[in-house]
Structure 1
């Protein structure tokens, strides 16, 4: 009996990161639909982004204050300007465009598009020398092929609609609200979605730079969410002239804001950081397509959403390309963790003798999925 309990605990510890990553993407999946339901009932995407990131910043603030008070660098004016630009790219622009695109497409389409962020980031990082092209190594070729395959999948999703996949069962849950004008323009939705992915890719690269000078991820996340919420509020006041759109009652709007702020911006970030610490960033990114699969299944079988053949083919191609890219990136992680050293002299008895790395490899930055 005791041996069985010990085996169960050992198995649980071994697969705990895997179970937590599945839980994360279940939370993301549910989040897509509660957000879409809120939009369908008249919630402005820009008001939602403002409230959500304000709630997220308030939730993360106490953890950042207590856990990083001894390691948090001093915030200078120049550093604050960088955080301002980082918030503008990662919250005000990227997230607003992402959620606005959901009004013209669907959660399935948006979830599939988000898988292209890794490929777009790779394209932008190469000329900035954050990534190196190696045509003589299989993993280097895999990164290039993965990028091209992912982008071809995006082109198929955008330009080819195809026949509707027939659903023999009616929707089990109806989320269509009073706003019946959604999902009407795939082109506009595609442009917004691709633009948000490009902006997020630039945001990730900027993170790599600012984290070197402000190595306090929770504090940085708090600043980015709160500053981004303020920027989004200004943007919303410019584009939303109806003051009633800011009023939130005890309805789906409130629950979507609380869910997005507490669960997505609070709990999920903490779990992701723990998984990254235990298993590394490559392990975390491998699970990203799980959201696409879960969203497609729920959208089709539970909510009765239309699925088009072009979207399914494109999403599969994007995921295949993502895994090619991740396999190539995993080689970078292995080189980083297995850096080889050599002696600088012929004998270790020599007092001037010391170890030096044969090749220095830049530490891979942590990238957290944003929804």
Structure 2
């Protein structure tokens, strides 16, 4: 293997969590357009949440059973209740509020407000001491500024439009959504509530992953429990039987893609990244999804783009970079501290062993001298 290939592999290994989380955002971006097309075909969003998580659980379950049958922790009542709560917060509650808010606002507003999750998660993590912030150090200042910039960029994209950029007349795909029943009281309340619930979900994940360190099994459990909870919610909200029928190919493709990619692979990657880097790192990539949605909506879907979206996207990327830089510097600092502590412990052990050997040798010499005298 050449030196260049070795260096490339080392870089990929170092930035593996970053690459995977960026890929997750790309996958979620495509899902957004599939959902928009499915809504136009009359798909019930609460039923969609049920189907996608049920499929996600079915897809992941065989892999979890085979690959983690020896390493999977024993399921207890306490762990099951924690998984039930995690599924309630992160699947049935969050996603149903999130999709319900789409009925009363606009997709651009909802996807922009999702970017506040990273800032909310960071604040909660600091309060719970899951995230350390040293305001006297540049890395701590960078994390704070990055969080504030990401929040400011998200609010800019959501609240400020500015000059409209003409849409592309020759866009490859044109999807025109149904008119929303706008309600700028109920809609934003549901959106903000879903963002807070999402943030709590990421925080609780950090604790659960430590107690149940089997990411595939955890993904299967969350999907299956969340599907049952969401089904109960959908039955209460939607009383018509035909809402459960899949009536078009785009709805089928949307459910298959959401179940396999979004609820299967993406959740597994998030659990893995959560275990490696913590909850704040995972949420830092949400703004990237909004930027990708805006760009693809303009280039592919022919939607109109505003200067506010561009300005907010630039601010979001700047905040994301600062936050990532601060996190990486924190990681390097902790690694150096761990290495220094390990080195000091080894040196201390070496000194103790040397001292013991010296004392033993001295004792043997004294015994030998006494034998000669006698």
User: Normalising TM by the smaller chain, what interval?
Assistant: 0.7 to 0.9
Counterpart in 1 of 2:253?
255
> How do residues 124-273 of structure 1 correspond to structure 2 at under 5 angstroms?
124-176=124-176, 180-182=178-180, 184=182, 188-269=186-267
Name the CA shift for 1:133/1:272 in 2 (closer, same or farther; >3 Å): closer
| Pairing 1:343-354 to 2, within 5 Å after superposition | 343=345, 348-351=350-353
Contact 1:112 1:315 in 2 (8 A): no
Over the aligned positions, Cα root-mean-square deviation in angstroms equals: 3.4
User: Partners of 1:83 and 1:21 in 2: how far apart?
Assistant: 23
Question: Are residue 336 (structure 1) and residue 338 (structure 2) matched?
Answer: no
Distance, in Å, in 1 between the alignment partners of 2:277 and 2:129 is 22
Instruction: Call closer, same or farther: CA 1:352–1:123 in 2, change over 3 Å.
Output: farther
Tell me if the contact between 1:52 and 1:260 (Cα under 8 Å) persists in the aligned partners.
yes
Aligned-partner Cα distance in 1 for 2:24–2:150? 23
* TM-score, normalised via structure 1 length: 0.80
The alpha-carbon deviation at position 346 of structure 1 amounts to 6.2
Farther-moved stretch of structure 1 (250-259 vs 159-168): 159-168
Distance in 2 between the 1:211 and 1:105 partners? 34
Q: 1:47 to 1:153 in 2, by over 3 A?
A: same
Where in structure 2 are there 5+ consecutive unaligned residues?
Answer: 356-374
Q: 1:142 to 1:183 in 2, by over 3 A?
A: farther
Contact (CA 8 Å) 1:289, 1:319: kept in 2 or not?
yes
Contact 2:110 2:191 in 1 (8 A): yes
How big is the shift at 1:347?
A: 7.2
Range 183-192 or range 83-92, more displaced:
183-192
Contact 1:146/1:322 (8 A) holds in 2: yes
8 Å CA contact 1:87–1:227 kept in 2: the answer is yes
> By how many angstroms is 1:26 displaced?
3.7
Is the CA contact 2:113–2:158 (under 8 Å) kept in the aligned structure 1?
no
- Residues 1-371 of structure 1 aligned to structure 2 (within 5 Å): 24-105=24-105, 107-176=107-176, 180-182=178-180, 184=182, 188-269=186-267, 289-338=287-336, 339=338, 340-341=340-341, 342-343=344-345, 348-351=350-353
Distance 2:209 2:57 in 1: 18
Q: Which residue of 1 aligns with 2:360?
A: none
How many aligned residue pairs are there? Answer: 346
1:160 positional shift? 2.9
Residues of 2 paired with 1:335 and 1:346: CA distance?
22
User: In structure 2, how many angstroms separate the alpha carbons of the residues matched to 1:347 and 1:173?
Assistant: 68
Indicate the SS of the match to 2:239. coil
Q: Taking structure 2 as the reference length, what is the TM-score of the superposition?
A: 0.79
- The answer to whether the 8 A contact 1:144-1:325 is kept is yes
Cα distance in 2, alignment partners of residues 283 and 162 from structure 1:
31
Contact 1:157/1:315 (CA < 8 Å) preserved in 2?
A: yes
Q: Deviations over 1:77-120 (max 9, x none)?
A: 11111111100111012222233334445555444433332221
Q: In 1, distance between residues paired with 2:270 and 2:91?
A: 19
> 1:155 offset after TM fit, Å?
3.1
Contact 1:157 1:313 in 2 (8 A): yes
- Structure 1 residues 350 and 66, CA, compared in 2 at 3 Å: closer, same or farther? same
Report if aligned partners of 2:104, 2:187 keep a CA contact under 8 Å in 1.
yes
Answer whether contact 2:89 2:198 (CA < 8 A) is retained. Answer: yes
Q: Following TM superposition, by how much is the alpha carbon of 1:127 offset from its aligned partner in structure 2, in angstroms?
A: 1.6
User: Any conservation in 1 of the 2:53–2:226 contact (CA below 8 Å)?
Assistant: yes
The CA deviation at 1:63 is: 0.9
Which structure carries more helix by proportion?
A: 2
Higher deviation after alignment, 211-220 or 111-120: 111-120
Q: Which secondary structure does the structure 1 equivalent of 2:73 belong to?
A: coil
